[in-house]
Amino acid sequence: MFILGDSTADVGTNSLLPFSFIRADFPFNGIDFPSSQPTGRFSNGFNTVDFLGFQISPPPFLSLVDSQSSMNKQFLKGVSFASGGSGLLDTTGQSLGVIPLGKQIQQFATVQSNLTAAIGSDETEKLLSKSLFLISTGGNDILGHFPLNGGLTKEEFIKNLSDAYDNHLKARFFLLSILMITGS
């Protein structure tokens, strides 16, 4: 499972960002989690990703980049790139020290490259074709835009969001993965 998105899917990414203003690594976040400790999830326990039926959500990408020797093994099990406060637009959350969707896609490209180096392109293609990709984002874009109005009509802004989403899905590295998954 590979997860991209915002606080609805963040399993601790922002806790690993030293300059992020958007964090969930303090009480009462996590009070209903099995350890009753803050986990970096923006909830009192589990978040939406945790309810997908897997034993445990994949760890944040940033928690894996320091452990080079075990990085490739963990990548086989999935990775979360989600960052609370981010959005479809790379400007959403920019001043808050979060990882925008465009950067999350670049991080996925790093994982894909590491997997290819570790297990080869055919095995990587097989793995990704059997993987679940979850993208949960967009709410912060809307919450940030409408109070300020940004000079655009609702229709223009929604069109901008739709175009940004389309562009992200067509991004070079992400497109390769989507093509492998759909077999196109």
The answer to whether residue 47 sits within a structural domain is: no
The answer to whether residue 64 sits within a structural domain is: yes
Mean residue pLDDT of the chain comes to 79
Assessment of whether the complete model's pTM goes beyond 0.75: yes
Tell me what pLDDT residue 23 has: 81
- What range defines the domain where residue 113 resides? 2-13+53-182
The answer to whether residue 118 sits within a structural domain is: yes
**Cα(75)–Cα(56) distance, rounded to whole angstroms?**
14
The answer to whether residue 23 sits within a structural domain is: no
Tell me what pLDDT residue 77 has: 83
Tell me what pLDDT residue 179 has: 43
Closest to 82 measured CA to CA, from 137, 21, 17, 127: 137
Q: Do 61 and 13 touch, CB atoms closer than 8 A?
A: yes
Tell me what pLDDT residue 149 has: 60
Tell me what pLDDT residue 152 has: 76
The answer to whether residue 20 sits within a structural domain is: no
- Low-confidence stretches of the chain (pLDDT < 50) are 178-179, 182-184
**Cα(164)–Cα(181) distance, rounded to whole angstroms?**
21
Q: Count structural domains, the chain.
A: 1
